[in-house]
Structure 1
């Protein structure tokens, strides 16, 4: 048996004002995107914004459905929008913000497992890291240097 230790490094910003100005603007777009989320069942709204290499910002938000598993997360809405509209443009950064009508989310809300898997596909496809910034409604923001920092042993096309 061989033991391998995996480590991930994150950066923690104490507030949105502490972010670099371009990332603060990207996070503000994610916060704004939350306003159009359709979350009548969970009352949990998420907004995502993606900065592309060409300077464009693409947003998405979660969309629920009464047939609960039929809904879609903000991160996947945004990344599939990028893939369909700008298929050959590199993704640089992703910002995510979440809020709930049931409580004030003061801790950063990370992407779910399905979103991590989907995001990793695009990071691997472009052969370049995507920085990920995520927060709750207020408070700290976590930054990872790569999607694969969130999903270190990813399933990819090499297994197919």
Structure 2
């Protein structure tokens, strides 16, 4: 459960170690199974581009992977689980952020999931540099937003 709140003017996120561990294990398992059965890397951007026309020859497993990513949280909620979160930024900020991430994915030759989960596991130098860049940029962005801009 992600619950962003304010405590003394500082945005906070609840620490959920067990849910995070389980989620990370499931993501890792899906990445390993995809590599074992299809020889493919579980990067969401690469998977998504294979189902956008023109379709790649292996579009079926890509569509199934994406459907699972969308349907799994819905099934969790239908089974009685709760997913609580708030987004403390305007929709325009989300759109601009998504656009900037898309640019980074293009120039970084992959998305954070592909580089961070699969590339790092393979000790890919390109992925190690990409993840280090993501992290430094994320730290700097949070610092600027929370301490300079005051958001």
Structure 2 length normalisation: TM-score? Answer: 0.31
- Higher share in strand: 1
Structure 1 length normalisation: TM-score? Answer: 0.30
| Bigger CA radius of gyration | 2
